[in-house]
Amino acid sequence: GPSPTVVHATPLEGDDLARLRDGGAIVCACPTTERDLGDGILDALGMLRAGIGVCIGSDSHTLLDAREELRLLEGHARLRHERRNVLSDPANGRYRPSEVLLEWGASVGARSLGVESGVIEVGARADLLGIDTEAGADLPANAQAAARAVDRWLFSTVERACRLV
């Protein structure tokens, strides 16, 4: 189709990134599956730089945890590039990896599925995630600290702090 979703895409070589980008592809990464099967590490930074949308999925069913899949994209990128905050995108105003990862997990994931979701706008599905600041997660409650709250949710809080609303 005009916008295919390619699952895994860990064994890339040569001009594969350019071909994915030029073909309008979305890559569905399954980091826990790829880790458990020894399939390799996604070149998430290369995809970010090439403008290729990444979403997450799982096909091993040993763990179904969207937050862990997103967290592993940054974790694997840190291992590959031996530094922190790899998946930030300052050129496009995204200074925290959580900003990129949330976009990939929400709007790119929705695009891959062909549903109007992943954004808050008229006509889109209202699939929202609430973060309970009283669940012992030590999250700031004011709007000014929302970015830090997302960072903490993604990289350090307990799962019980999150629920669909």
Residue pLDDT, tens place only, 98-127:
999 999 998 899 899 988 877 778 887 776
Percent of the chain beyond pLDDT 70?
A: 80
E strands, 30-116, are 53-56
Using DSSP's 3-state secondary structure scheme, residue 28 falls into strand
Please report where in the chains the tokens 């031996």 appear, as a residue.
82
Burial 10-33 (b: 16+ CB within 10 A, else e): bebeeeebeebbeeebbbbbbbbb
| Distant-in-sequence, close-in-space partners of 132: CB < 8 Å, separation ≥ 6 | 160, 161, 162, 163
Does residue 139 contact residue 147 with C-beta atoms inside 8 Å? no
CA 102 to chain CA centroid, nearest Å: 5
Question: Residue 25's pLDDT is what?
Answer: 97
pTM of the model: 0.83
Mean pLDDT for the chain?
Answer: 84
